[in-house]
Amino acid sequence: MAFLTGTLEWEGCECRHLWSEQVFVAMPEQHVLAEAEQLDWVDVMGERFIVSDAAPGQEIYNYLVQRLAGLGRQPEILPHSVGRHNLLSLVALGQGLTLASEGVTATQVPDVVFRPIGNETLPYSMVWSTQNDNPAFLRFLDIANSLETQNVSLVTSMA
């Protein structure tokens, strides 16, 4: 079983949407857009973005290309061989902007601010092999199904 961003279909697997989080732009505190309460894609289409080479860097790269290329602009996206926290430190140093999910915004990074992008959300899903007969997994799935039929969020119940 894996917890992933997105809702892609995986051959031989089942997928269940669990929750969604708002998408934010991480930028240096002194950036001209930092004063805005909310951003739209057109506000950031001329900006340089940085992503990690590690997961979910490629997903963020693809997401940026999809959103910005749709506006007729080939985005400048530079990959870096760093993890999430170091990437945010590069944002603080003015190396570029990056995208972050709502959960990441709780992270306190000096000189970095997070601004939401419109009503843009990122889905999180649980994906598992249809061949998975592990008793612990099957019990977990039974509990998840039970909670879902009771209209209780699995994520809220696990928190």
HEC per residue, the chain: CEEEECCCCCCCEEEEEEEEEEEEEEEECCCHHHHCCCECHHHHCCCEEEEECCCCHHHHHHHHHHHHHCCCCCCEEEEECCCHHHHHHHHHCCCCEEEEEHHHHHCCCCCEEEEEEEEEEEEEEEEEECCCCCHHHHHHHHHHHHHHHCCCCHHHHHC
Percentage of residues of the chain with pLDDT beyond 90: 37
- 153 pLDDT higher than 60: no
Q: Can you tell me the mean pLDDT for 75-93?
A: 90
User: Which residue would you say has higher pLDDT here, 83 or 29?
Assistant: 29
Show the domains of the chain with their CATH numbers: 21-120 (3.40.190.10)
pLDDT in tens, 95-119: 999 999 888 898 889 999 999 998 8
User: Which residue would you say has higher pLDDT here, 18 or 48?
Assistant: 48
pLDDT in tens, 12-21: 888 888 888 9
